[in-house]
Chain A
Amino acid sequence: MAARAGRCCRAGLSCGALLSPALLSPAVLSRAPATPRWGRAAFSSAPAVSGREGPQAREGSVRRRGRTLQFVRSAAPPRTERMAVDQDWSSVYPTAAAFKPASVPLPIRMGYPVKGGVPPPKEGNLELIKIPNFLHLTPPAIKKHCAALKDFCTEWPSALDSDEKCEQHFPIEIETVDYVSSGTSIRNPKARVVTLRVKLSSLNLDDHAKKKLIKLVGERYCQETDVLTITTDRCPLRRQNYDYSMHLLTVLYHESWKTEKWESEKSEEDMEEYVWENSHSQKNALDTLLRIKASENVSNVTKEELLASEVVKNYRNSVIALKNEGETESNISQYKESVKKLLNIQA
């Protein structure tokens, strides 16, 4: 933005440079009547300049040349010299503007240095004009802006004094983006996108519904943070997208509570995670244990007792860890220990 304004300013400068020789040269003035349209434009500006002379305006080109020469002048000293050390900087740079070397009292250098030298100074330095600057957004300026804008803010509800409470009372988070630019259009197609975030734990779901919901949303659910993210951008307006994302959430919720007929056909391979209960592993382990007990002539040992025993629980946990978390060194060694204890093997 700043860069564009800067270019504009340069254009103005060069235009002035082009104009002044044109004003000086009598050839242009004499040629003017030949081109009627521009001639009129040139003429209409003439009274503005010579109007102050009043009756002497007629005295012709000699006089005019004398006047134009008065405009040839040197530049004034930069106003940084007159600036007080404690001046109010936000008044010097109130808005975004291109870098103005005569208004910035800093010894800035920028650009490619000459060999063995330093980068060029700020005066007439294009590199400094090109880059966007934030001279108008100094921390004191932002503080002032915030203080001025405070009147437009509503008071924060006192009951919501922590993030946890906010999450608890307002579990749904909507994110939209407004775009500000220095273009001809105030519209931006990207402003219609709406992102909805909600923690699954804040929804009223049972185990089945939760698993189904996760299956339904696929990659929109983040396992680590337990957050479901719905981004909608298919409608042309933000409001429509917002409504659509709410609709999606509602539909997902109700859909996940339904249990279809075919869900009973869910087999061990379809499970989201390994469940030890009623698995092959449990059956085999119990079988083995019962036969061991039988061979040791220890009767009246029920399955329930076995399941409640420490070694079996230990074994169960290590198997679950191995299946759900993968084969890590600690898992493997834990599994080894539990198997040894289960079978009562001394090594």
Chain B
Amino acid sequence: MAARRVAGGCWQRALCLGRRCRLPGGRESYRSSSSTSALGKTVDNSQVTQEEIVLPRRKTWDKLAVLQALASTVNRDPTAAHYMFQDDPFLMPRNAANARLYSLSKESGRNAAKYIIKNFPQYFDKTFAEPNVPCLMPESLTPQTEGVSEGALRERIHLRLVKESVDMFDQLLQAGTPVSLETTNSLLDLLCFYGGGEPTPQKEQEEKEGLEEPEVNASEQKAPKRQFQRGSQSSGPKWRENNHAERIFKVMPERNAHSYCTMIRGMVKHEAYSKAYDMYIDLLNERHKADVHTFNALIRAVPYLKERFPERWELAKEFLTHMAQQKVQPTLLTFNSVLKSLRRCGGVGRAVSLSVLKEMEALDIEPSLASYDHLLSMFYKGADPQSSDIISEVLNEVEKRSFTAQDPDDANFFNTAMQVCCDLKDIKLAYQLNRALEKGDNWKFLDVDRLNGYWSKFFSLLCMMEQIEVVLKWYKEMSSSLFYPSPKNILDLLQALDAANQLEVIPSVWEDVKQLGFSRIPDVLEEFLSLMSRDQHPSEIQLAFAKCAEDIKAVHEPAGPGQVPLEWTGSALGHVVVLFSRAGRTQDAWNMMEHFQKINRIPTDKVMDEFLNCAKQTNCPDEAIKMVKLAASLGLLSSQRLKSRMEKEFELSETQKKALESIKWDGDSSDSDSDSSDSDSE
């Protein structure tokens, strides 16, 4: 029946075939009404069969449950990039920089669309969606209320129009209209949130993201800005002397605790710490009580208020005792703020942090990932890493629970913990941490940037500590679907391959490196070449190596317009010659040999011997003679030895013998000036 399809393309029919019980209620009512029921016959039958039909209760579930169940059937695809990217070979990012650029481009496109919708709402007046999706419709950003009144002020505050709200407030003040305490407080809220300045659209965006999704999208967006603003080291405008917030606070006829709290929080947010402390003293003098958020802000400000570590801890303790006196119940964020401040208290922090955790336990507050993050950085950053095994305790604790985002700092935990594992070189801990990450929704704590950092560290650790088979398995699983290896990761992998004596894998790694766009990084090239040319391998491996060498050679040669070729180094050139020689590609090897003269470098003895071997095997005495000539012209000491080798090992024709003789003569005569050129080049 489901196969019956409605003509008309995109409609899919989901057939719902239900058999429904005719009569509501249980069997009793069924039977009693049997004489008049249309289904009396049926009732008789069921009495005959004497079977109890138990109708199951209808199940209910929340709206997303089905989708989540279906999503649970899908695993990560190890060959695909993150799903936000286009699944197309041309449009998939190749490396971390690409991935970031593409995700930012996508986000910027989204922002552009939002900009258009916001600024031209008149073109978006139709609601096509059924039911309507309000968040896709343009918001009304222009205030509806005209005139100067408190209502108009409230509306402007609601629409977050900072400048207009301040102007309106001033006008009201000049007109002598009293503004209610509540409205003034919400105006203060607005001003303190934005630090007294007008929010630019971009900043507003950032703030909103920061408010709504603390860990998923925020840093993805902020990343470029962070770098942009690294010089100033601040995320927003600083608190200025006598800004609108302070001015309005001063002219307020009466102030309540909320006004003070808002001011303190705004000052801490915008880095006016000592002012915030003064404001707190004022609040105490006015005999008001601060709320828990204010205390959190103040505790976070502690490291900036006092210089010495014990003084900082004393001040934090003072705030905590004040909280107890004012009967303010501390929250998770309070303790996280304490721990965050303790991070900047050196040894004092280490000493008291565990008692802070005990206190949390006593108050029945479960620590969040941010608490553990602070703890780890307290114990492992700058301190002797071997000093404690707190990491394993933390991991045991983390593994037992699943977390939701509660603190903006939660997102840092996994990266910090992985860094600690790397510092300790403890692969078991790293596996344990990874298990914790895979549990539940913990993966949500890692955004694109942090994901890359985390896996990059993990991979380096794997390369260092694990069996090569395991490393390669992880590499295949993770590379380009979970993270994009950095050049350092590639070097680590090469070292691991070298240690495990599995150099035959190198060509496939080289392919990946080309894809990652690292083929122009000299360190990586050097490592590849030295590993490939170090030992003699079976011929098919040598052929594959020679192919890699060819790619590397191509990088050093001018390819297209605008592509600046890489400069040859002497050792790279030597390695390439050796690789070509071992693969029996005499002509290519000779072409490379010629480069030595161009870049004023000298081939090593090993390189020349390899070349001679190759020439012998492929029976190319001409090239061999040319090489000896080259060596002689460079005035190398080994040219004599090479010549004698040639005479011994090669079957030379008469003309070739003559040529060889003439070289010798050349070499002899140029001995004196080749010495001088030698010293030039060295």
Q: Does A170 contact B (CB under 8 A)?
A: yes
CA distance A180 to B661 in the complex (A): 89
- A9:B89 contact, CB within 8 angstroms: no
- A100:B88 contact, CB within 8 angstroms: yes
Q: Which residue of B lies closest to A2 (CB)?
A: B10
Q: Which residue of B lies closest to A257 (CB)?
A: B38
B46 contacts which chain A residues (CB < 8 A)? 168-169
- A79:B73 contact, CB within 8 angstroms: no
- B18:A176 contact, CB within 8 angstroms: yes
- B562:A154 contact, CB within 8 angstroms: no
Stretch at the interface among A182-190, A219-227, A261-269, A273-281: A182-190
B453 to chain A, nearest CB (A): 17
- B10:A183 contact, CB within 8 angstroms: yes
A120 to chain B, nearest CB (A): 18
Q: Does A325 contact B (CB under 8 A)?
A: no
Question: Contact partner of A202 among B11, B21, B41, CB < 8 A?
Answer: B41
Question: Contact partner of A48 among B21, B65, B92, B108, CB < 8 A?
Answer: B108
Q: Does A91 contact B (CB under 8 A)?
A: yes
Known A175-B17, A204-B38: A184·B89 in contact at CB below 8 Å: no
Known A41-B115, A253-B38: A177·B13 in contact at CB below 8 Å: yes
CA distance A343 to B457 in the complex (A): 110
Residues of chain B in range 119-144 having any CB-CB distance to chain A below 8 Å: 128-131
- B70:A102 contact, CB within 8 angstroms: no
Which size class do B's interface residues fall under? 35 or more
CA distance A196 to B61 in the complex (A): 28
Compute the total of residue contacts between A and B using a CB distance below 8 Å: 176
Known A179-B13, A186-B131: A172·B22 in contact at CB below 8 Å: yes
Most buried by B among A82, A92, A178: A82
Q: 0/1 per residue, B199-210, Cβ < 8 Å to A?
A: 000100000000
- B42:A51 contact, CB within 8 angstroms: no
How many of A's residues come within 8 Å of B, CB to CB?
Answer: 78
- B73:A148 contact, CB within 8 angstroms: yes
Q: Does B653 contact A (CB under 8 A)?
A: no
Stretch at the interface among B76-84, B314-322, B332-340, B617-625: B76-84
- B12:A180 contact, CB within 8 angstroms: yes
Q: Does B39 contact A (CB under 8 A)?
A: yes
CA distance A78 to B40 in the complex (A): 68
- B130:A76 contact, CB within 8 angstroms: no
Q: Which residue of B lies closest to A160 (CB)?
A: B53
B257 to chain A, nearest CB (A): 41
Known A90-B73, A180-B12: A48·B22 in contact at CB below 8 Å: no
CA distance A145 to B51 in the complex (A): 34
Known A47-B224, A179-B11: A202·B39 in contact at CB below 8 Å: yes
Q: Does A111 contact B (CB under 8 A)?
A: no
B456 to chain A, nearest CB (A): 18
Residues of chain B in range 542-581 having any CB-CB distance to chain A below 8 Å: 562-563
Q: 0/1 per residue, A259-296, Cβ < 8 Å to B?
A: 00000000000000000000000000000000000000
Beyond A54-B227, A173-B17, 10 extra complex contacts between A and B, CB < 8 Å: A51-B228, A82-B79, A147-B73, A168-B42, A174-B19, A182-B10, A184-B128, A185-B128, A187-B130, A249-B38
Q: Which 7 A/B pairs are nearest by Cβ-Cβ distance? A: A185-B130, A154-B56, A75-B90, A144-B73, A94-B74, A91-B77, A69-B562
